[in-house]
Structure 1
Amino acid sequence: MGTPALREATDVVGRMRAWQRSWHGRSKIEKVEFQSTVTWHLMPWIFLLSWVSVPLGLGLRHDLAPQLFGWGLMVSGAAQCLHASRSLRRSVDHYLRRAPLPRRDLIVAGVLMTTTMGLAVGLQAVDGVPSEMLGITALFVPMPFAQSLAFSATIRGYAARMALVAAVSVGAFAAAGARGGQLVAIGVIIAFAGFLALISARCGAWTLSVMWEADRAREVEARLAVAEERLRFGRDLHDVMGRNLAVIALKSELAVQLARRGRPEAVDQMVEVQRIAQESQREVREVVRGYREVDLKVELTGAQGVLEAAGITCRVSGSEVALPASVQSALGWVVREAATNVLRHGDAGRCDIALAVSEGRATLSVENDGVPEVAPGGRGPGPAGRGSGLAGRGSGLAGRGSGLAGLRERLAAVGGTLDSTSGDGVFRLAVQVPLPTPSEGAGARERAEQEQGSGESGGSGGRGLGRGEAA
């Protein structure tokens, strides 16, 4: 008997953990939208319980007609709430411009509201409940319809429709025997219900709309920045290669003509072509280096701005430290990747970035809270291929691994190491890079140029020169 119960308990725990992982995997805007949607779902049911069930339960007369009207009103009110819950997602999506206008849902909501209001008028006609209790019940009747209408109509259209509902309701209650102050009270109550539904539904939806618009604007800004950098790179490459390739084409054509005539000047022209080609290769390396290198100070400032714009408190210290270009480039990529993943993973409320230089080493640490789950083996050593700590779910640099592999390659090129720790909801990334001496820095720069050029020229270029010399 204990085995099925144990399996059921295990299944419940598994579903809870899956839901928790799903929750932490949502962005902050998605969490806000989920919370708002749950609130909108609950509101009609809470109003039904407090404004219909309790007043009618306390004041409904025990005669047959009041009982029929009263219980019918509660059933019709429950149908209103059920329909509002089923159509809420479509109404919100329409307001957020994700779906067309749900006309059918609005018609059904209007019919249900009219039915419920008719039952309330019937209670008034048979004097089935005290007038003050009926007034509280009348406060609920337009709420589900008004909620759906608030997501679908303009402010002016909403006000006109609710004014029509109030006028028709007052007229119906007047025909049922309500007089004087009770009619005024019913009109004020329905107007107040419409206003309450408007501010509770429309204001939250407007906030969601602004948040999603800001999120889309950030995405567009990031894409524009990438496009601008690509244009710059293409423009620089065109400026460098366009002129030189035109000169190479002209001189090689001249060399061909001279060679056909047996003129010795053809050799001089080919030597000039070789010189221009080597110069073009060097200039392309400079363009590529400028495209690949990043400015550490700019990355620190950008990371702080982006994180604070996302509602994460970010403190940066040591940004004034002067470092060699190669070290700045490597650490700049670490800052960029860390800031990106703090936004993507977990639910961070703060992020601290510290840069320091001591004993000939530059140290960069990035620490953030909001880690939803601590992965086993949370410490990952710097060399690529050995650590698994950064691959844990929920850490600041958790992900698919491609970003970490790139960081380790960049750090390995300058002799750097990467360590991470995770615990108590906090993830900490520590990077150490040795500072080169002036002579080592010059040698490293030359080696970097040679390495970057090797991929562009390739072995075929060397073989081509060998054939040229043999000729």
Structure 2
Amino acid sequence: MVPLGTAALGVREEGESGGTGMRGFWRERSQAAKLDLYMRVVLYVMPWLFAVGILAPLAQELVRGPDAVALARGLVALSVAQCAVAMHTIHHGLAHYVDGAPAPRRSAALALALGGVSAGLLLTLQAIGGIGDGTVMLQLLPYALLTPAMSTFMLSTLRRLVLGTVVAAALVAGAMVATGAEPPLAVSAAVVVFFVGLFALATTRSTAWFMAMIWELDRSRDVSARLAVAEERLRFGRDMHDVMGRNLAVIALKSELAVRLARRGRPEAADQMAEVQRIAQESQREVRELVRGYRDADLSAELEGARGVLSAAGIDCLMDREPLGDGLPSGVQSALGWVVREATTNVLRHGDARSCTVRLTSDGGRAVLVVENDGAEGGPAPGTPGSGLAGLRERLTAVGGTLRAGPAGDGRFRLTAEVPLAQEALVQNARGQGVQAQGVRAPEAPGMRLQETRTPGARAQEAPAPGAPARGALR
């Protein structure tokens, strides 16, 4: 639940150290982006590890002859070239597999060609006796083929990849037999090629699939949030239509009828306008009830809803609640329910929390609600408080409560709401917020109509003065 701002996003301010900038580079990323970056770095580093790995057996087992040394140097140079091509191919291959970008066919073909040349150099070294017995060749063969396999295993279907691995194994085995190798050694080389294909499937292809699933789930989460907002808007519009549609249609018909009767000088016009007034007042009452139903939040329902929403988003939610929620005054429940709702929304939108704790306790005649999560990436930007927190402060002020929100240390963000439980304090605060005027008494319950002051023996005015609101008008 981190307010938006440069500090929350982890942007390094001018004058800060480079270390802070590196932390911000990592912290400003979402969980999906962090995992994506980690997997990409692993895939980019692995080919270079293979290039380094080929040096040890090659240096130990190489027969120091002029031809063997030249072939070994060429093999090392090809390994470095394969790594450089793999960086480009893996980057664009991930974009192709995850985002549907064009496939890097040319660089993939170049990677396969380099892999074939590397395998040819190994076979030549084996044929001229430059690397001792055949076991050394079997040790070096995976280093020569893993990099091109990683470069190409994101660009085709599984069936074609398996078929290509079989063809590569057959070609390597046939080439070894053609160069005078024993059949068992050729079969072992084919098994090594199969192992290379299996390793590429288990690393490169599965990593690309996992990254695609992560981003798909991230997009689904965003779409679900948008659909929830749209569904709530539709529900409000449907309820408003059901409440006001029929009444407004009746008001329009009766007003038209009253106009026609008035033009004819018929006394029934006044009866029709009185009916219009009654329907309008009834519509006003229904709209107030509808709005009150949307504005009032049930604390127990909001707590359970927060648990379900956070759990669905993969956030561990711990509810520490004393058995006092249902016994709170309705105004307190509504205010704290809105705090829970807004806090849950902020946890989902503004942070990358893995756990969230909600505590509802009673402390010295006050209900205390604490919502704390570990998704804080920085403090709130000074002077830019969020509109959601400002709205919560207004709701809590109306019932004499207070709201505190800010970092709690160790990457945690804490929101604390306190509301007095004394009914007298609530009443006094409500009276202090109201406007006392002659002829109008402070409403004691939501939806009460204003009452006019009447002089003894005088008849109340049926119509308001010009420019003044009608009695019972919606404010």
Query: d(CA) in 1 for partners of 2:403 and 2:246?
Result: 43
In the alignment, which of 404, 428, 432 is matched to residue 414 of structure 2?
A: 428
Partner of 1:368 in structure 2? Answer: 373
Aligned to 1:5: none
* 3-state SS of paired residue (1:262): coil
Over the residues paired in the alignment, what is the CA RMSD in angstroms? 3.0
Distance between the aligned counterparts of 2:131 and 2:258, measured in 1?
109
Q: Which amino acid in the other structure matches residue 235 of structure 1?
A: R
Query: Does the 8 A contact of 1:295 with 1:329 survive in 2?
Result: yes
The residue that corresponds to 1:326 in the other structure is 331
Say whether the 8 Å CA contact 2:172–2:186 is kept in structure 1.
no
Aligned 8 A contact 2:347 2:375 in 1: no
Aligned to 2:269: 266
* Pair 1:65 & 2:67 matched: yes
2:340 corresponding residue in structure 1: 335
1:266 maps to amino acid: A
Deviations 1:370-412 (A, max 9, x none): 5444x4xxxxxxxxxxxxxx547xxxxx986222222222222
Shift of the 140–419 alpha-carbon distance from structure 1 to 2, 3 Å rule, reads same
Which residue in the other structure is 2:398 paired with?
A: 413
Cα offset for 1:150?
2.3
Letter in 2 for 1:90: H
Tell me, in whole angstroms, the C-alpha distance in 2 between the residues paired with 1:341 and 1:87.
39
Q: Which runs of 5+ in 2 are unaligned?
A: 1-12, 432-441, 450-462
Q: Is the CA contact 2:299–2:336 (under 8 Å) kept in the aligned structure 1? A: yes
In the TM superposition, residue 308 of structure 1 has moved relative to its aligned partner by 3.2
Query: How has the CA–CA distance of structure 1 residues 328 and 105 changed in structure 2, closer, same or farther, with 3 Å as cutoff?
Result: farther
What is the distance in 2 between the residues matched to 1:96 and 1:126?
A: 45
Cα deviation for residue 91 of structure 1 reads: 1.0
Counterpart of 2:219 (choices 216, 220, 225) is 216
Indicate the SS of the match to 1:410: helix
2:77 matches 1:92: no
1:299 to 280, 297, 302: 302
Distance 1:406 1:12, change over 3 A: closer
Q: SS at 2:180's partner residue?
A: coil
Q: How many residues align?
A: 430
Using the TM superposition, give the Cα deviation of residue 307 of structure 1 relative to its aligned residue in structure 2, in angstroms.
2.9
- Distance in 2 (CA, whole Å) between partners of 1:319 and 1:12 is 47
The offset of 1:170, in angstroms, is 1.6
| Cα 1:242–1:306 shift into 2, 3 Å | closer
Amino acid at match of 2:386: G
Counterpart Cα distance in 1 of 2:78 and 2:248: 81
SS of equivalent to 1:96: helix
Say if 2:85 is the partner of 1:83.
yes
1:97-142 deviations in Å (ceiling 9; x for gaps): 3413322232122122122122222212222112222211101222
**Secondary structure of the equivalent of 2:99?**
coil
**Whole-Å separation in 2 of the counterparts to 1:94 and 1:158:** 16
Q: 1:279 aligned to 2:254? A: no
SS at match of 1:95: helix
Secondary structure class of the residue paired with 1:101? coil
Alignment partner, residue 172 of structure 2: 169
Q: Is contact 1:92-1:205 (8 Å) kept?
A: yes
| Residue identity matched to 2:239 | D
1:345 CA displacement? 4.6
Q: 1:128 aligns with which of 127, 130, 143?
A: 130
Give the corresponding residue for 1:43: 46
Residue 403 in 1 paired to residue 401 in 2?
no
SS in 1 for 2:52: helix
User: Which residue of the other structure, out of 200, 203, 223, is the alignment partner of 2:203?
Assistant: 200
In 2, distance between residues paired with 1:467 and 1:140?
86
2:215 is the counterpart of 1:229: no
CA-to-aligned-CA distance 1:331-388 (integer Å, 9 cap, x gap): 2222233233334455544321011234442210112235444x4xxxxxxxxxxxxx
The question of 1:355 aligning with 2:360 is answered: yes
Q: Would the alpha carbon gap of residues 261 and 301 (structure 1) be closer, same or farther in structure 2, given more than 3 Å must change?
A: same
What are the Cα deviations for residues 274-325 of structure 1, in whole angstroms up to 9, with x where unaligned? 2211221221222222233333223222322333344432210227521333
Query: Which TM-score applies when normalising by structure 2?
Result: 0.82
Report what 1:384 is aligned to: none
What amino acid is the match of 1:356?
A: T
* SS of the residue 1:138 aligns to: helix
Please report how far the alpha carbon of residue 235 of structure 1 lies from its aligned counterpart in structure 2 after TM superposition.
1.3
Q: Does 1:158 align with 2:161?
A: yes
The aligned amino acid for 1:226 is V
Note the alpha carbon deviations across 1:186-224, whole angstroms, 9 max, x for none: 111111111111101222222222222222332232222
Compared CA separation, residues 271 and 40, structure 1 to 2 (3 A):
same
The 1:145–1:464 alpha-carbon spacing in structure 2 relative to 1, beyond 3 Å, is: farther
Q: Distance in 2 between matches of 1:465 and 1:11?
A: 57
**C-alpha distance in structure 1 between counterparts of 2:222 and 2:158, whole Å:** 30
Question: Whose RCO is larger (CA < 8 A, sep 6+)?
Answer: 2
Distance (whole Å) between structure 2 residues aligned to residue 445 and residue 165 of structure 1:
86
Amino acid at match of 2:283: S
Q: After superposition, what is the alpha-carbon deviation per residue over 1:412-464, rounded to whole angstroms, capped at 9, x for unaligned?
A: 2322201245224333221011236399499898565479xxxxxxxxx9776
| Alignment-mate amino acid for residue 264 of structure 2 | R
**Aligned position for 1:387:** none
Taking the aligned partners of 2:278 and 2:384, their CA distance within structure 1 comes to 47
Give SS of 1:365's match: strand
Give distance in 2, aligned partners of 1:108 and 1:325: 72
Q: Structure 1 counterpart of 2:96, which letter?
A: H
CA distance change for structure 1 residues 432 and 92 in 2, over 3 Å: closer, same or farther?
A: same
Tell me which amino acid in the other structure corresponds to 1:419.
Answer: R
